Amino acid sequence: MARILSLLNMNEWKRYRKVSAPAFTEANNKLVWTESIRVMEDLFQTVWGDRKEIMYDDALYMTVPATLLVIGAAGFGRCIRWNDELVLPAGHKMTFKDALSTVSRAAIFKASIPNWMMHLTKRGRNILQAYEELETYMMEMIPVSSSIGNKGHSA
């Protein structure tokens, strides 16, 4: 019995590995590294500027947005700067940056509460709006991504 379970787990592992392996190529690792450097240099130049001292009560205040900017660029092909998207793109109610940030913070909330109940609060409606906006942004990116093909990142 243990051997069968072990084989089942091995087959399941192989299936998951086959699906996820293309995301962990040397080219993708290089892209994430390059985008991480770009995001941090942008933080140093445009947000922190010439300040001699930077203080945060919580490191997440800086690391979460930095992570989302890297994901936006490496995962979605949207190179966003720290001070970008102050104006909404036509046809949108949230910026890509705000939608991605809200979705990342509210995933557990969204998964645990039915949509009809989320409509009852302002926070819930904002979360639903963020999911809709992120889906719209992603659908807009599909033609761009499919035209890039296997050429890699176009930033």
Using one digit for the tens of pLDDT, what is the confidence trace for 94-152?
988 888 889 988 989 999 999 999 999 999 999 999 999 988 888 887 665 455 544 44
Alpha helices in the chain (DSSP H): 2-20, 26-42, 60-76, 96-112, 115-118, 122-148
Range of the domain at 57: 2-150
Point out the least confidently predicted range of 5-9, 54-58, 69-73, 88-92.
5-9
Q: What is the mean pLDDT of residues 39-50?
A: 91
Nearest to 136 by CA among 104, 101, 89, 79: 89
Domain assignment of residue 138, yes or no: yes
Residue 155 lies in a domain: no
How many structural domains compose the chain? 1
Residue 145 within a domain: yes
pLDDT at residue 2 greater than cutoff 60: no
